[in-house]
Amino acid sequence: MKTIAVIGAGTMGNGIAHTFAQNGFKVNLIDVSDAALKKGIATVTKNLDRQVAKEVLTEAQKNDTLLNIALLTDLKEGVSTADLVVEAASEKLAIKLDIFEKLDNFCKPNTILASNTSSISITQIAAATQRAEQVIGMHFMNPVPVMKLVEIISGYSTSKETLATVTKLAEQLGKTPVPVNDYPGFVANRILMPMLNEAIETLYNGVAGVQEIDTVMKLGMAHPMGPLQLADFIGLDVCLSILEVMYDGFKNPKYAPCPLLVNMVRAGKLGIKSGEGFYDYSESKKAETVSAQFQ
């Protein structure tokens, strides 16, 4: 495989593009708007600069990585020569089905189609194509350039050849591929999301405050980040979408989203991406924090 197309220049998409490009692949990063692409490549550049500062990469390697990434808004143009397409669009079934139906028409017959979905059925996504044996899940973890895990999800019809090819490819990226079966939430989010939801329920029921809940989990369970802070980092809208997929798939009340989470998403309090979630990430709050450090 030489050419990789990544659909979506958001947090996951730009991280996936960064990782492939850093490992010598030609990457077409595709999004619907130039603004999204500019924001995405700016993030890649900032993260590469951080790697250079930490002496993980040289300046020359950073420049080579950026040269490996082409930015496109035309889906057909971006995927027509790709050997692998990784979809990293919104975690909405209708959006993914529309994309994969188009990919089936635009891509070469032997192109493998992968989704970075964190919860949606690969079998259901594959049904939008005429190449279900070449459709697979590649669930990268955030931040992609740093995190080693890639969940590899085979749908009902995914071939052994496709699984072997994608597993080897993940290893070429320096990742640890872990095969899992196609059930809602797979492994990572089937375990993680109920924990985050329970932390939100604990806050909702007035058992303790935000800082207290996160401190208990960090100090008592050795978690590097508290569950409420992690939910902010993931995006509360993403957490809600994943929980809804699992609740719909299993019909088990333990996956029902906490009313507080639902209301926060409705109010636009999505975490870091919106500037406010369980914590305040606004510029004024950052200024207050900086000011306090010098007092």
Mean pLDDT of the chain: 95
Q: Is 58 exposed, middle or buried (0-12, 13-18, 19+ CB in 10 A)?
A: exposed
Judge whether 33 is annotated as a binding position. Answer: no
In order of 133, 190, 193, 216, the CA distances from 227 in angstroms are 37, 15, 10, 10
- Indicate whether 49 and 147 sit together in one domain: yes
172 and 86 co-located in one domain: yes
Is 10 a known ligand-binding residue?
Answer: yes
Per-residue pLDDT, 282: 87
Query: Based on the domain organization, do 30 and 167 belong to the same domain?
Result: yes
pLDDT of residue 284: 52
Is 69 inside any structural domain? yes
Question: Does 223 qualify as catalytic in the annotation?
Answer: no
Instruction: Find the catalytic residue in 115, 189, 197, 274.
Output: 189
CA distance 107 to 84: 9
Q: Which domain holds residue 197?
A: 187-290
Q: Check the annotation: does 1 bind a ligand.
A: no
What's the pLDDT tens digit per position in 93-115? 999 999 999 999 999 999 999 99
What distance in Å separates the CA atoms of residue 56 and residue 63, rounded to the nearest whole number? 14
Q: Do residues 217 and 118 share a domain?
A: no
Q: Under a CB-based contact definition with an 8 Å cutoff, are residues 228 and 199 in contact?
A: yes
Distance CA 97, CA 124 (A): 8
Q: Is the pLDDT of residue 261 over 50?
A: yes
pLDDT digits over 46-75, tens only? 999 999 999 999 999 999 999 999 999 999
Residue 287: the pLDDT is 39
Number of domains the chain is built from: 2
246 is in an annotated binding site: no
Instruction: Assess whether 196 and 167 both reside in one domain.
Output: no
Does 295 reside within a domain? no
Boundary (domain end) residue, out of 122, 151, 181: 181
* Stated pTM of the model: 0.90
**The pLDDT value given to residue 290:** 31
The string of DSSP codes covering 134-191 is GEEEEEEPSSTTT--EEEEEE-TT--HHHHHHHHHHHHHTT-EEEEE-SSTTTTHHHH
d(CA 242, CA 184): 8
Q: What is the domain-level CATH number for residue 28?
A: 3.40.50.720
276 is in an annotated binding site: no
Q: Return the CATH number at 273.
A: 1.10.1040.50
Residue 127 lies in a domain: yes
Single out the catalytic residue among 14, 118, 241, 274: 118
Domain shared by 193 and 175, yes or no: no
Does the pLDDT at position 292 exceed 70? no
Active-site option among 18, 68, 139, 154: 139
Identify whether residues 87 and 191 lie together within a single domain. no
- The conformational region for residue 113 under phi > 0 = left, psi -120 to 50 = alpha, else beta, is beta
Catalytic residue among 14, 47, 68, 151: 151
Q: What is the tens place of the pLDDT at every residue in 127-181?
A: 999 999 999 999 999 999 999 999 999 999 999 999 999 999 999 999 999 999 9
Work out the percent of the chain whose per-residue pLDDT is above 70: 96
Q: What is the 3-state secondary structure (H, E, C) of 19-58?
A: HHHHCCCEEEEECCCHHHHHHHHHHHHHHHHHHHHCCCCC
> How many whole angstroms separate alpha carbon 263 and alpha carbon 259?
6
Domain boundary among 181, 206, 222: 181
pLDDT at residue 251, as a whole number? 95
Active site residue 115: no
Average pLDDT over residues 182-189: 96
State yes or no: 118 annotated in a binding site.
yes
**118 among known catalytic residues:** yes
Residues 115 and 35 in one domain: yes
Domain boundary among 181, 210, 230: 181
Q: Are residues 148 and 198 in the same domain?
A: no
Q: Is residue 21 in some structural domain?
A: yes
Cβ(2)–Cβ(155) below 8 Å: no
Q: Are residues 137 and 55 in the same domain?
A: yes
φ/ψ bin of 182: left (φ > 0), alpha (ψ from -120 to 50), beta (otherwise): beta
248 annotated to bind ligand = no
How close are the terminal C-alpha atoms of the chain, in Å?
A: 55
